[in-house]
Amino acid sequence: MTNQSVIFFDIDGTLLTHEKELPASTKEAIFKLKELGHEVAIATGRAPFMFEDIREELDIRTFVSYNGQYVVLNGEVIYANPLNIPALERLTEKALLNRHPVVFMDHEDMKANVPEHAYIRESIETLKINHFPTHDPNYYKGRDLYQSLLFCPEGEEKQYEQEFAEFDFVRWHPVSVDILPKGGSKAIGIEKIVERLGFPKERQYAFGDGLNDLEMLSAIENSVAMGNAEDRVKKAAKHVTKSVEDNGILHGLQMVGLL
């Protein structure tokens, strides 16, 4: 394994452009990595059902989803960290009073606690996926949920952060925030995979651009921030490549010597 590495890629703003397109140079680079014997994996905040097409197109069977809460190695679930349901129920009650919708998410589907809301449509549509949450206010009952979405304008999540210590809140859209188990992160999900695969720290790589990549980029020795990332994200990474639209993945892989 001395010449092989494991490389984790975020999706939105990293593998995919802001128009949700996969650059040809990125696809070619991924398959070249695989030809060279490297392990290629995804590390995303998305639900598993939100990137089935990408996994199929790139022939990837190992991934960290829900920002580390649902981890699959070669098609097998090896780690799952569900939300605290009683606390989520209390949060949902408060959110209803504030007219802030909530979407419940497990590994198979997502359901909204309200029939319709502009914030849900506005944010989910930016992902350009085939799934859209339908209405089921009781979806949280009797099942494991790995992430929820709280829909509110920037700054209004502070009240939830102060009251619900069971969760971490990570904003991914001007009107939407991820609700995660406290302390959960992509870094923890990645750790579960590399423990199984046995790659040393110097053979671990990660590419990302968002605030939910901070822990991953800080923890991985050979981390690469995209050129389109915020300054805070770039500072967390060891390297900074070009933007996703400017063949950033290919450039970054060449920069760190993998291609």
What counts of helices (H) and strands (E) characterise the chain? 9, 14
The sheet that has 176-181: what strands, in order across it? Answer: 134-135, 110-112, 102-105, 147-151, 176-181, 167-173
Contact 39, 6 (CB under 8 A): yes
CA pair distance 91, 66, nearest whole angstrom: 19
Cα→Cα distances 179→9, 72, 89, 92, 248, Å: 22, 21, 12, 11, 29
Catalytically active residues, by annotation:
10
**Secondary structure element (H or E) that encloses residue 176, with its range:** strand 176-181
For residue 27, the Cα-to-chain-centroid distance in whole angstroms is: 19
- d(CA 91, CA 85) in angstroms, rounded, equals 10
**CA-to-CA distance for 113 and 161, rounded, in angstroms?**
20
